[in-house]
Amino acid sequence: MNDHDHEHESARESVVLDKIERMRRRRPRLKDDTVTLAHGAGGKASAALTDAVFLEAFRNDTLEPLGDAGLVELPSGERLAMTTDSFVVNPWRFPGGSIGSLAVHGTVNDLAVAGARPRWLTVGFVLEEGLPVDELRAVTKEMAEAAERAGVTIVAGDTKVVGTGAADGLYINTAGVGVIPPGRDLGAHRVRPGDKVLVSGSLGDHGMAVMLARGDLNLEADIVSDSAPLNGLVETILEAAPDTRWMRDATRGGVGTVCNELAAASELGVVLSERALPVHRPVAGACDLLGIDPLYVANEGKLVAVVPVEQARAALEAMQGHEHGHEAAVIGEVREEPPGMVVIATAFGGSRIVDMLVGDPLPRIC
């Protein structure tokens, strides 16, 4: 092939890539007739279901951005964040946490990264006939302890019992309300090229801890879930870097998915450095064995923050000084190019894109 052919070929490739980018920018369409596990995995299928069924039915300006929490304004002018989350993790207990602590942290963190100070939680239990009361008591105690540590009060609740086989032992739903201090405005609309992307600590600890705790991998490794409340860390970051643009907790779908949401919402490029990603050795090893990228493995106590470059060092140092952020790192930068995409410089010296995850192969983790 001569140079001319080569140029012609890359031009043709470029046309194909442009077409794909246009396709990707469209919201995914729901084509399925039945719900499959993929609809709950947090990837494109979940987005399609949310759009076609839930948003279609409930559409309003507060819901539409589909953020971690809905932001509402009271007649008095005060602003609140509200959110809800259900927990079906199996097994109920894993190194570093349980379905109870997770149910508190999950909702607290969704409020915190929206810029709110979490205050009140409600809890709903769906119990399967035959569940030992001691088990329920233990889970409830873990919830109470987690709520106390996070500084939130559980103010209402509900219990439903279903027959044997109608649920997998125990499901928990929590909803929460937090107060947004005046002047706080976090969102993708504030993100600018040149901003730094920070993560508050190591990637993938929760997802891997749960996978190993299930025991069907026959793998043993010293991996502990990072399940933790992030509201204290958020306040610390906002104090050190008041112009912080945007935050997300990197739960299901991991840091890779969160960065894709950032790229899509800001219509800017997110460029990451593989070398800079903090990953604990046992997690990296288990991921390697299983062919899973730690970028997509769930966390329950990690957030991604976008901070203007001049406040990035202050934000980093503030995170590293906090008990839930001592392994924080700058992992990348926001750039004009390529818009709407996440690109990573590989540790090996090449580069590749980091796309939204498709069809999560992992079991229930939250």
The Cβ-side half-sphere exposure at 4, using a 13 Å CA radius, reads 0
- Smallest gap, in angstroms, from Cβ of residue 141 to other proteins? 33
- Kindly identify the residues of this chain, within the stretch 64-123, that bind other proteins according to CB under 8 A: none
203 near other proteins, rule: CB under 8 A: no
Number of neighbours of residue 155 by Cβ within 10 angstroms: 12
Closest to 94 (Cα-Cα) out of 184, 189, 222, 181: 222
Span of 104-112, 143-151, 239-247, 348-356 interacting with other proteins by CB under 8 A:
348-356
- Smallest gap, in angstroms, from Cβ of residue 2 to other proteins? 8
Span of 39-47, 117-125, 178-186, 233-241 interacting with other proteins by CB under 8 A:
39-47
38 near other proteins, rule: CB under 8 A: yes
Binding pattern for the stretch 283-322 against other proteins, x by CB under 8 A and - elsewhere = -xx--x--x-----------------xx-xxx-x------
The Cβ-side half-sphere exposure at 276, using a 13 Å CA radius, reads 17
Q: How many residues bind other proteins (CB under 8 A)?
A: 63
Closest to 344 (Cα-Cα) out of 245, 255, 244, 248: 255
43 near other proteins, rule: CB under 8 A: yes
- Decide: 319 and 233 in contact? Cβ < 8 Å: yes
25 near other proteins, rule: CB under 8 A: no
Return the number of the residue (162 or 347) whose C-beta is nearest other proteins: 347
217 near other proteins, rule: CB under 8 A: yes
Number of neighbours of residue 79 by Cβ within 10 angstroms: 18
238 near other proteins, rule: CB under 8 A: no
- Decide: 100 and 139 in contact? Cβ < 8 Å: yes
Whole-number Å distance between alpha carbons of 315 and 317: 6
Closest to 174 (Cα-Cα) out of 103, 227, 110: 103
Return the number of the residue (14 or 153) whose C-beta is nearest other proteins: 14
- Smallest gap, in angstroms, from Cβ of residue 189 to other proteins? 22
Altogether, the residues listed in the chain come to a count of: 366
- Smallest gap, in angstroms, from Cβ of residue 355 to other proteins? 5
Q: Is the peptide bond before 338 cis (omega within 30 degrees of 0)?
A: yes
Q: Which residues contact 190 (CB under 8 A, 6 or more apart)?
A: 245, 246
36 near other proteins, rule: CB under 8 A: yes
Only one residue has tokens 């008990």, namely 323
Alpha-carbon distances, residue 68 vs 197, 235, 309 (angstroms): 18, 17, 25
Return the number of the residue (20 or 144) whose C-beta is nearest other proteins: 20
Please give the residue ranges that form the binding site for other proteins (CB under 8 A). Answer: 1, 6, 10, 12-14, 16-17, 19-20, 23, 28, 31, 34-38, 43-45, 196, 216-218, 271-273, 275-276, 281, 284-285, 288, 291, 309-310, 312-314, 316, 329-333, 335, 338, 343-353, 355, 358-359, 361
